[in-house]
């Protein structure tokens, strides 16, 4: 390797947290003008290594060099000043401010009028528009971030990282919220940046993307370096074997479908928001996994959140077990045997400062109370501990102890904690919104197995997913939405990518969509 092409070197990096060694002498070499993929199961240490490269963590041992110069970043701003920028997996936009203010936060331009310095909104707007035009991003710089879908927030974050003029841009699961067309836009942006000499470190569990966009691939396992290979020498099977240390012949667990009686019936449900879903009707059966497909803006999440009582509806009927029900809030839904794993685990799932144990038992607190003389209620520490351990073991959650703060776990392990939380309520209907987003292949299989077990027990599962193989591999039926309408319901065993995409992209009315009931 030509040393003059090296832009970032990380040598023998080690990092420990209480009870766990997250990194054990890991080395990484990144060349300018290339895309260097970083892969590994959840908990392998990828994000920890990148947070060391970005100044969020200080390594316990090892050396970091930028273009041959040894650096020790004090914080993220110091890293950005030295040419390293990072797009985080969990987005944290300032939703009360507009797009351009999010792009230039901490760097807003000023103009002097008399003795007073004012924010130069005209320049900020023009600079943002020029940046977006260069990146082919079509978003109004003055639009509020709170109005943007997750995919558009992701594009804004990418533009913000580019605006620093970085030598190295770290992208942690950048396509997790993007449609297929937006992924192509991101790849065009990446190719433009690498042509200008920028190095991209690309963290993703989507192996087809990795093989399409990467020049080199580094694989980690359990906080250690497995190795680095040219991307053209790798296949998906090789990557999986090196990531998990074992051969995985099947992406989805075997299952026999035993769909039973109708359990959840939704008729003509219409959102109170006129711009959301309209006149949705479907039936969910016991023992069924119902996939829910569609593009960004299809209103899939909005529909499920409305059924769960998080959003108001204008009209329609919901029946459970043949009986009409009124669900005005999530507590009503939980009491009726429903559970909802939300799409944004950090924004609306985990409570970061609480422990793993606290997060697991959160939705079922009444089951952990004991009443004593005088009517006073106390939490049973033993039952909390036993219940939390049950799901730590069954879901293979990697955590030093139950008392570890959940924010210190990897994204995949946080997702498992949230699954454990809802499984503890023993739901009859489990709604999963993008349950495997940002999750490695091993953890995906564990989640699929849990879904399969629930269905085998006669429970009902609804899975919102933007991954075609997942929809077709796990669903008994696939319900597809387009622009707030039900386009069609397909048989999961015979559905094709083309059928799903046709229904997702063009609403023709359910009757024309090949509905399978």
Q: Which CATH number characterizes residue 319's domain?
A: 3.40.50.300
The whole-number average pLDDT for the span 291-298 is 85
- Beta strands, E only, 232-371: 262-271, 280-285, 289-293, 313-320, 323-325, 338-341, 369-371
Q: Rounded distance, CA 364 to CA 425, Å? A: 6
Judge if 260 and 161 occupy the same domain. Answer: no
Judge if 88 and 162 occupy the same domain. Answer: yes
pLDDT confidence bin for 377, thresholds 50/70/90: low
Q: Tokens for 502, please give them.
A: 């046709």
Closest by CA to 338, choosing from 319, 356, 351, 353, is 319
Judge if 455 and 375 occupy the same domain. Answer: no
**pLDDT above 70: percentage of residues in the chain:** 89
- Express each pLDDT in 42-79 by its tens digit: 678 888 999 999 999 999 999 999 999 999 999 988 99
The whole-number average pLDDT for the span 496-509 is 77
Most confident of 22-31, 205-214, 415-424: 22-31
Helix axes 121-135, 150-163, angle to 10 degrees: 100
Q: Which string of DSSP letters, residue by residue, matches 396-446? A: T---S-TTSBGGGS-HHHHHHHHHHHHHTT--SEEEEESTTTT--HHHHHH
pLDDT at 400: 84
**From 61-75, 129-143, 235-249, 481-495, the region with the lowest mean pLDDT:** 235-249
Q: What is the DSSP letter of 144?
A: B
Judge if 312 and 413 occupy the same domain. Answer: no
Question: Residue 365: is its pLDDT beyond 70?
Answer: no
Q: Rounded distance, CA 396 to CA 333, Å? A: 28
Judge if 88 and 212 occupy the same domain. Answer: yes
pTM of the predicted structure, to 2 decimals: 0.61
Of 397, 426, 455, the position where a domain reaches its end is: 426
Flag whether 43 is in a domain.
Answer: yes
Q: Tokens for 425, please give them.
A: 């309520």
Judge if 46 and 152 occupy the same domain. Answer: yes
Question: Residue 517: is its pLDDT beyond 70?
Answer: no
Of 479 and 361, the structure prediction assigns the larger pLDDT to 479
Question: Residue 426: is its pLDDT beyond 50?
Answer: yes
Flag whether 82 is in a domain.
Answer: yes
- Beta strands, E only, 235-381: 262-271, 280-285, 289-293, 313-320, 323-325, 338-341, 369-371, 377-379
Flag whether 344 is in a domain.
Answer: no
Of 426, 449, 464, the position where a domain reaches its end is: 426
Q: Are 352 and 362 in contact (CB under 8 A)?
A: no
Total domain count for the chain? 4
pLDDT at 516: 45
Flag whether 363 is in a domain.
Answer: yes
Judge if 240 and 261 occupy the same domain. Answer: no
pLDDT at 511: 39
**From 10-24, 374-388, 400-414, 473-487, the region with the lowest mean pLDDT:** 374-388
Judge if 452 and 506 occupy the same domain. Answer: yes
Closest by CA to 201, choosing from 386, 426, 33, is 33
Flag whether 384 is in a domain.
Answer: yes
Q: Residue 261, SS3?
A: coil
Q: Which domain holds residue 400?
A: 351-426
Q: Given the structure tokens 């009444």, which residue do they identify?
A: 366
Flag whether 479 is in a domain.
Answer: yes
The whole-number average pLDDT for the span 68-96 is 86
Q: Tokens for 326, please give them.
A: 């009124």
Q: Tokens for 466, please give them.
A: 């933007």
Most confident of 205-209, 236-240, 289-293, 396-400: 289-293
Flag whether 515 is in a domain.
Answer: yes
Judge if 46 and 137 occupy the same domain. Answer: no
Judge if 270 and 331 occupy the same domain. Answer: yes
Q: Residue 491, SS3?
A: strand
Q: Rounded distance, CA 298 to CA 484, Å? A: 5
Q: What is the DSSP letter of 495?
A: -
Q: Given the structure tokens 């809030």, which residue do they identify?
A: 329
């Amino acid at each position: 390797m030509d040393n003059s092409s090296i832009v970032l070197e990380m040598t023998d990096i080690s990092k420990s947290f209480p009870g766990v060694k997250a990194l054990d002498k890991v080395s990484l070499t990144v060349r300018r003008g290339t895309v260097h993929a970083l892969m590994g199961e959840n908990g392998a240490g990828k994000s920890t290594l990148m947070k060391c490269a970005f100044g969020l963590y200080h390594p316990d041992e090892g050396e970091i060099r930028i273009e041959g110069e040894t650096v020790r970043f004090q914080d993220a701003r110091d890293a950005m000043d030295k040419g390293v920028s990072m797009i985080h997996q969990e987005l944290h936009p300032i939703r009360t401010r507009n797009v351009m203010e999010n792009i230039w936060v901490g760097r807003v331009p000023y103009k002097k009028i008399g003795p007073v310095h004012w924010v130069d909104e005209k320049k900020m707007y023009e600079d943002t528009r020029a940046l977006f035009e260069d990146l082919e991003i079509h978003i109004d710089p003055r639009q509020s971030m709170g109005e943007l879908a997750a995919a558009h927030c992701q594009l804004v974050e990418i533009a913000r990282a580019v605006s620093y003029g970085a030598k190295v841009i770290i992208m942690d699961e950048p396509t997790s919220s993007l449609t297929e067309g937006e992924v192509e836009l991101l790849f065009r942006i990446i190719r433009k940046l690498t042509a200008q000499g920028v190095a991209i470190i690309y963290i993703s569990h989507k192996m087809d993307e990795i093989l399409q966009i990467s020049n080199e691939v580094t694989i980690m396992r359990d906080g250690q370096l497995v190795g680095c290979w040219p991307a053209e020498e790798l296949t998906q099977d090789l990557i999986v074997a090196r990531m998990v240390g074992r051969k995985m012949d099947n992406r989805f667990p075997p299952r026999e479908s035993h769909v039973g009686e109708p359990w959840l019936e939704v008729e003509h449900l219409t959102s109170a928001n006129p711009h959301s879903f309209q006149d949705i009707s479907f039936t969910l059966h016991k023992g069924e996994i119902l996939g829910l497909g569609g593009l960004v803006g299809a209103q899939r999440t909005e529909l499920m959140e409305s059924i769960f009582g998080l959003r108001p509806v204008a009209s329609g009927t919901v029946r459970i077990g043949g009986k009409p029900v009124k669900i005005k809030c999530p507590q009503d839904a939980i009491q009726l045997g429903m559970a909802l794993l939300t799409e944004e685990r950090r924004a609306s799932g985990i409570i970061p400062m609480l422990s793993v144990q606290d997060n697991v038992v959160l939705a079922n607190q009444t089951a952990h109370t004991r009443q004593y003389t005088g009517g006073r209620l106390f939490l049973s520490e033993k039952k909390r501990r036993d219940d939390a351990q049950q799901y730590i073991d069954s879901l293979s959650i990697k955590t030093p102890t139950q008392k570890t703060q959940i924010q210190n776990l990897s994204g995949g392990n946080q997702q498992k904690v949230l699954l454990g939380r809802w499984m503890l309520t023993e739901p009859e209907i489990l709604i999963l919104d993008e349950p495997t987003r940002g999750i490695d292949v091993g953890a995906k299989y564990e989640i699929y197995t849990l879904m399969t077990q629930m269905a085998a027990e006669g429970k009902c599962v609804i899975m919102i997913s933007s991954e075609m193989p997942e929809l077709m591999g796990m669903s008994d039926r696939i319900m597809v939405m387009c622009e707030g309408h039900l386009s069609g319901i397909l048989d999961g065993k015979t559905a094709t990518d083309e059928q799903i995409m046709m229904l997702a992209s063009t609403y023709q009315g359910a009757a024309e969509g090949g509905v399978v009931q």
